[in-house]
Structures are given as C-alpha cells and as structure tokens.
Amino acid sequence: MGKKTKLALAIAAASAAAWAGSKAFLKPQKREGKEVLSMDIPVVLAHRGGALIAPEHTMIAFEKSFELGVDGFEIDIRLTKDEEIVVLHDETIDRTSDGMGAVKDFTLEELKNFNFGFHYKDNNGNFPYRNQKVEIVTLRELFEKFPNMFINIDIKDSPETYEGSLMPSKLWRLIEEYNAENRVVVTSFYSEQVDRFNLYAQNRVALGAGESDVRKAFAAFTSQFGHLYHPKVDVFQIPIKSGRFSLDSPKFIAFLNNLNIPVHYWVIDDEELMRKLLDNGAQGIITDRPDIAVPLVRDWVEHHKEKGENLS
C-alpha cells in the first residue's frame, strides 16, 4: 500500500471518527416555539396583500384578502424621507404609482398624493383604479386596521443605506407600541437586518430566514453534519428553488421541522403546486391569489382530517 493511499485512508478514518463523535455528543438545537407560528394547520398569507386581486400593498388588497379569510399578510417595508415606515416593495414608486422617484426622497405626506393603484391591471386588461385615489399604506395603519392578523414583515432597505441603518430600531419601537410581538414575523433578504432587529427584540419576535440562513441550512441538510446545525431564526419563507437547488423536498422540510422551524413557500399561485407543497409538509402558502389558496387549503385540511391524520 502506497503512502498516498495510507494518507487518504487515515484522513477518511479521522473524518468518520469526527462525525461519529459529534453525532454522539451533540444534539440538534431546536428553536423555542413562537406564538405566531403555533397554528396546527397550514396558513395562507396574502403576498403584498394579494397582488393579483387588487393593487399590491394597498388597503384595497388587504381588505379583500381579509374578507377571503387569509391567516395573514406578507408585506415589504421601506422608510420615507421623514422616517415613516411605509408598506412597499420597490425602492422607487414608479412601478406602482403615477409618480416617479425613490421612496427615501419623499415624505409620507408627499407619497399620499400619488395614486398607488395607477398601474394595476385586472384579468380583463382594464385599469380599474386609474381614476381613483389609492393611497400608500403605513405599517402603523396596517397594525391599527387589522389588530389580530399575522403579518410577515420583510425589511427591504439595505443595511448599508441610511434608511436601512434606522429601520431595525424604528420597526422594533412600532411593534412594541402596538404590542404586536406575538403576531408578526420579521425577516429580510439581508440576514444582517434580521440580526440587527433582534438586538432590540431579544427573541421576543419571531424571525424569518435571510438568504445566508437558507444557504447554511441547506448546506447542513445536504452534508453529513446536519446535527451540527443550530438555527438562529424561527421560520423559513423560501421559494421552491434557489439556483439549481430544489428547496421543496419532503426531507428538507422535515429537517427544518425537526428543529421546530415551519416552512412557508412563495409566491405560489398554482393549485397543483399548492397541493404538492402541502403534501410535502409545508406549513404555509404565500400567494398573490388568496381567492384560490384559501379554499384549496381548507379543502386539503378537511380531506386529511377526514382520514384521521394529525396535521400538527
């Protein structure tokens, strides 16, 4: 046996011993359950209020989705020039209103002058809100209008911007003011924003996974060292695929569920895909079409209850 072969075998043996030792002494660290995520049946969250049934992120959309029976809303937030938190996805207002420019360059009063239903097109190709005044919504208004709804809040401002640097503290103060700690999830594409928010919240608010959190979890899942993965968030809201990696397998969902982390998928508008994800173990559907998702999830739940299955 050559020296190279002996060295390779020695490395393999050492790796196996390290894996066996860590498996024996280290156990997966489950997240403590959060009240907002404690539902025992899958939830439906209206993406941007229900972006295909009404102008996104407007009170019209939120009210329609509420009437349809959604469990909550999935929203994006940004900071205005006068440091008010508004509900909006884009950095600019061009795509959704009849104005142009960046959110950060307008005061709330100035933003209220634009029509945020201007570009919404219905299924018939019409623009039903073009001649109406559809105002931008603040997070404060949403808390007041829907005091009992589950709201998933996505911080869009980058931590490298002035607005992003202020957002975690301002968001925490608003959540605390409305005693909303047990009905919101705070997340961001930027994991750093979630970490910074939690410096104020101190785990009193459920946290959603950022991009780096998803990468770490999937790498742990696909390795032999998944038992070493210790999550720092409470829920994963993810697409079904990231690059060439599929994130919707029953095994990946079960891996996270075993750590007390539910998985919600976005943006799902297709009925067949909704059923597949629910069958795979998903605990939430984030959708632009709550008119489709709400009855489908209810039927799915009733079907499985009739079969005597425990959904929790």
Query: What gap in Å lies between CA 262 and CA 282, rounded to an integer?
Result: 7
* Exposed/middle/buried for residue 240 (C-beta within 10 Å: 0-12, 13-18, 19+): middle
201-216 pLDDT, tens digit per residue, is 999 999 999 888 898 9
* Exposed/middle/buried for residue 74 (C-beta within 10 Å: 0-12, 13-18, 19+): buried
Residue ranges and CATH numbers for the domains of the chain are 29-88+148-306 (3.20.20.190)
Query: What gap in Å lies between CA 243 and CA 236, rounded to an integer?
Result: 17
22-31 pLDDT, tens digit per residue, is 444 445 566 6
18 three-class SS: helix
Residues ≥6 apart with Cβ < 8 Å to 273 = 240
Give the pLDDT of residue 19.
38
Q: What is the CA radius of gyration of the chain?
A: 22
Query: What gap in Å lies between CA 64 and CA 62, rounded to an integer?
Result: 6
Query: What region does 29 belong to: left with phi over 0, alpha with psi -120 to 50, or beta?
Result: beta
Mean pLDDT for 87-103 is 97
Residue 96 has pLDDT above 60, yes or no: yes
- Give the pair of three-digit tokens for residue 214: 């998803």
Share of the chain above pLDDT 70, in %: 88
* Start-to-end C-alpha separation, the chain: 55
Query: What gap in Å lies between CA 87 and CA 152, rounded to an integer?
Result: 12
Mean pLDDT for 33-43 is 89
- pTM, two decimals, is 0.88
- Give the pair of three-digit tokens for residue 49: 């209020």
Query: What gap in Å lies between CA 240 and CA 6, rounded to an integer?
Result: 43
Please answer whether residues 164 and 158 qualify as being in contact, where contact means their C-beta atoms are separated by less than 8 angstroms: yes
Residues ≥6 apart with Cβ < 8 Å to 292 = 269, 271, 274
98-145 pLDDT, tens digit per residue, is 999 999 999 999 999 999 999 999 989 999 999 999 999 999 999 999
Query: What gap in Å lies between CA 73 and CA 52, rounded to an integer?
Result: 14
